[in-house]
Amino acid sequence: MKVDKNAVVTFHYVMTDDETGEEIENSNGKEPSAFVFGHKNMIESLEHSMLGKEAGESYTVTLPPDIAYGRVRSSSELRVSKKNLQFEGELKPGMMVPIKTKEGLRPVTVVKVGKFNVDIDYNHPLAGKTLKFDVEIVDVREATTDELSQGQPISQQH
């Protein structure tokens, strides 16, 4: 079966910074990632690169910032109350911590820490980076009715 709308795609990947060659993430040796194609659960351009591929295929795709995590926005600092951050312990500049948003938890970078408030940078941590993905399609199958209604593979839910 080829990757197409409503297929459950299981894959391994290695993500590297294309400019420095630094490995950012690697799923090899772990559970492969899985998603339902066409339900906006991952970087759209990476998802689109899988269209028509089959289990066993491997390929490389390079995504510039505009179609990965966006460009770095200089006006992206914000002062928030410490209670909005999902973090226990001492906050320090440079740390990445999750913040509660309407869309759920999102990673932000701590810029400055005050007594009650924290200045954060809400650029995605990978904004501005050209990313290279080495992808191996492990499995492609039709999504079940439940998976389609939830927009994600049942096996990935915890």
Per-residue pLDDT tens over the stretch 102-132: 877 888 899 999 999 999 998 988 999 999 9
**pLDDT single digits (tens) 127-147:** 999 999 999 999 999 999 999
Q: Which domains does the chain have, with CATH numbers?
A: 7-69+127-156 (3.10.50.40), 77-121 (2.40.10.330)
The rounded distance, in Å, linking the Cα atoms of 60 and 15 is 10
Of the pLDDT bands very low, low, confident and very high (cuts 50, 70, 90), residue 155 is: low
User: What pLDDT band is residue 157 in, cutting at 50, 70 and 90?
Assistant: very low
Average pLDDT over residues 50-65: 98
What mean pLDDT value characterizes the chain?
Answer: 92
User: What confidence tens digit (pLDDT) does each residue in 24-47 have?
Assistant: 999 999 999 999 999 988 899 999
Give the dihedral sign, CA 42/48/50/51: positive
Average pLDDT of 57-71?
Answer: 96
Q: What pLDDT, on the 0 to 100 scale, is given for residue 158?
A: 42
CA 26 – CA 134 distance, rounded (Å): 9
Report CA-CA distances (Å) from 156 to 10, 105, 121, 134, 153: 10, 18, 30, 21, 5
